[in-house]
Amino acid sequence: MIPLDEIEAVLFDVDGVVTDTAAVHAAAWKSAFDPFLRSRAGAGEPYRPFRLPEDYLELVDGKARLDGVRAFLSSRGIALPEDPSHPGAATAASLAERKDRLFLARLRRNGASAFPSTAALIRRLREAGVATAAVSASRNCAAVLRAAGAEPLFDARVDGVDAARLGLPGKPDPALFLEAARRLGAPPGRTAVLEDSLAGVEAGVRGGFRLVIGVDRSGREGELYRRGAHAVVADPGDLEISGVSG
């Protein structure tokens, strides 16, 4: 339930909540990491491929691209230089850039679509006078929303481009959500967050938002609650809005 007597703005994560693109990100991550992991296996390390969905959901989902690379490499005990110009070696930055190229190629080839139930919920909220914002760690957020025809659903957007420009840390830090609430003119205590990633739910809780709703499309209800979600739904369309007149 989203109580409109307590909520005046709702912030939506994009990939996996608004658009059906989480699987595209996951596949791009695997295509970026597996050749690198295979090359290291030749140096005496066993080849352990990037696991779907486990590594994606636990280590990179919802995070800024370079933060995701760092988290995954750390989980495998791998240390790489980060400088993209580091001569003759793979770097954290080069892996992040490869993932970006792979994702954009898939997006251009296959496009993106918005979840109809989420789009319907956003329209109902806007008709009731609730402000909405799209919040994503991705620098490709605008391209994703545009490809899905979802740009008009939001009053504001805060994404990876804004994070780089403003120096905002990525999720699980709440900075992206707090900036979105600021742009909507809504205090966190009267703002709801919808997130499907563990890092995003943690960010919403750390930001002091009135309502943090986990969206569970992959069987992680318990973990979303453990990260602090106030409620978990299988689909945003399951949410009811209370306090709508007429």
CATH code, 228: 3.40.50.1000
Instruction: Please report, as a single letter, which amino acid is at residue 96.
Output: A
Output DSSP code: residue 7. Answer: -
Same domain? For 92 and 27 the reply is yes
Same domain? For 175 and 198 the reply is yes
The β-bridge partners of 203 are none
Res 192 pLDDT > 70 = yes
Task: Output b/e per residue, 178-207; b: 16+ Cβ within 10 A.
Answer: bbbbebbebebeebbbbbbbbbbbbbbbbb
Residue 82 confidence (pLDDT): 74
Res 146 pLDDT > 70 = yes
Res 30 pLDDT > 50 = yes
Residue 88 confidence (pLDDT): 58
C-beta separation of 240 from 206 below 8 A: no
Instruction: Please report, as a single letter, which amino acid is at residue 232.
Output: V
Same domain? For 151 and 32 the reply is no
CA 142 to CA 161: how far, in whole Å? 9
What tokens were used for 84? 């993209």
Question: What Cα–Cα distance (Å) separates residue 60 from each residue in 32, 162, 174?
Answer: 13, 19, 16
Same domain? For 80 and 140 the reply is no
Same domain? For 122 and 102 the reply is no
Q: In the chain, what percentage of residues exceed pLDDT 90? A: 78
Same domain? For 122 and 106 the reply is no
Listed residues 48, 77, 110: the one ending a domain: 110
pTM higher than the cut 0.85: yes
Same domain? For 159 and 201 the reply is yes
Instruction: Work out the angle at residue 168's Cα, subtended by the Cα atoms of residues 164 and 169, and round it to the nearest 5 degrees.
Output: 105
Q: In the chain, what percentage of residues exceed pLDDT 70? A: 95
Same domain? For 12 and 42 the reply is no
Listed residues 81, 110, 139: the one ending a domain: 110
The β-bridge partners of 191 are 9
Residue 40 confidence (pLDDT): 84
Residue corresponding to tokens 């995003």: 200
* Domain assignment of residue 28, given as a range: 23-110
Same domain? For 69 and 143 the reply is no
pLDDT band at 90 (very low <50, low <70, confident <90, very high): confident
Same domain? For 199 and 231 the reply is yes
**Strands 191-195 and 211-215, bridge-based pairing:** parallel
Instruction: Please report, as a single letter, which amino acid is at residue 95.
Output: L
Listed residues 64, 81, 110: the one ending a domain: 110
Question: Which residues are known to be catalytic?
Answer: 13, 15
Same domain? For 153 and 42 the reply is no
Number of domains observed in the structure of the chain: 2
Res 246 pLDDT > 70 = no
CA dihedral 84, 85, 89, 91 (to 10 degrees): -10
